[in-house]
Structure 1
Amino acid sequence: MLNACKKVTTHDDVDIKKTHEWKTLEVTATAYNSLTNQTNTNPHITAFGDSLIPGMKYIAVSRDLLALGLHHNTSVCIEGFDDIYLVKDKMHWRWKKRIDIYMGLDVKAAKNWGRKKVFIQYQVPVDTLKIINE
């Protein structure tokens, strides 16, 4: 289902299994582009202040997912994609249990994706997991 996550075993010469754990969650996934009509202000700057560059593997998350450990720069695997995505943006408060996949300027690809229920896996530091589960 989520093969890309299983490929990642180390990061910066540190064994991820010792410092991070993969959590699985079902979410609604939509797609977005760097277009003025899809944003509040600058279509190339995220709510976290990062620059959006077409081709980058970024996602936005609904704000309720922040409390589950999907923080800025969290690594995320999305069912149906082979690459690992990074949380670089956050969505409006009205959305719940949702991610938005960044598709650069490719409006056709975003429309073709539409809206789907998918499983994601994301990395949470082990210390964070203890706090969430307590």
Structure 2
Amino acid sequence: MVFSCKKVPKELYNWQSLEVTATAYNSLKYQTDSDPNITAFGDSLRPGLKYIAVSRDLLKLGLRHNTPVKIDGLEGVYLVKDKMHSRWKNKIDIYMGVDIKAAKLWGRKKVCIDYGTPIIE
């Protein structure tokens, strides 16, 4: 019989895939409102953070506040920190700080995302 002292990391999330339309946004008054650094969830935005906004229909699929999201074509894990107007469907908006050029360069595209829903034990 073999025993090990090595701890195996426990998976915290069930990962699911979804194809969405992705655009980009900046924290600028003319793109949002009079307080562009505060999200609909009440979080503060700062350039350099990996945040996204989601259309409200995606909230029902499990993309809730602080859900981790991996976006094809981008490095790292993004967190859901904002929600979009109810007119949008099956859409994410990637936060790009104040870099208008990067947001315009991203444009609008269909991407595959993976998002984690917590495993409850």
Partner of 1:120: 113
Deviation for aligned residue 1:125: 1.9
CA distance in 2, matches of 1:81, 1:34: 20
Residue deviations 1:12-71 (CA, integer Å, cap 9, x gap): x9612xx42100000000000010011133100000000000000000000000000000
SS of equivalent residue, structure 2 residue 57: helix
Alpha-carbon distance between aligned partners in 1 of 2:55 and 2:78, rounded to the nearest angstrom? 15
Partner of 1:6: none
1:45 is paired with a residue whose SS is: coil
Give the structure 1 partner of residue 16 of structure 2. 23
Alignment of 1:66-85 (within 5 A): 66-85=59-78
Distance, in Å, in 1 between the alignment partners of 2:100 and 2:75 is 21
Q: TM-score, normalised by structure 1?
A: 0.81
Query: After the TM superposition, which residues 14-93 of structure 1 pair with which residues of structure 2 at under 5 Å, given as runs?
Result: 15-16=10-11, 19-93=12-86
Query: In structure 1, how many angstroms separate the alpha carbons of the residues matched to 2:102 and 2:13?
Result: 32
CA distance in 2, matches of 1:14, 1:70: 24
Query: Within the alignment, does 1:106 sit opposite 2:99 as a pair?
Result: yes
Structure number with larger C-alpha Rg? 2
SS at match of 1:112: helix
TM-score of the superposed pair, with normalisation by structure 2: 0.89
Size of the alignment, in residue pairs? Answer: 113
Query: What 5-or-longer segments of structure 1 have no aligned partner?
Result: 1-12, 128-134
For residues 43 and 14 of structure 1, the distance between their equivalents in structure 2, rounded to whole angstroms, comes to 38
The CA distance in 1 between the partners of 2:25 and 2:84, in whole Å, is 11
What letter corresponds to residue 40 of structure 2 in structure 1?
A
Higher fraction of helix: 1
Superposed CA offset, 1:80-106 (max 9, x none): 011100000000000000000000000
Partner letter of residue 123 of structure 1? G
Hey, which bits of structure 1, 4+ residues long, moved more than 6 A? none
For residue 92 of structure 1, give the secondary structure of its aligned residue in structure 2: coil
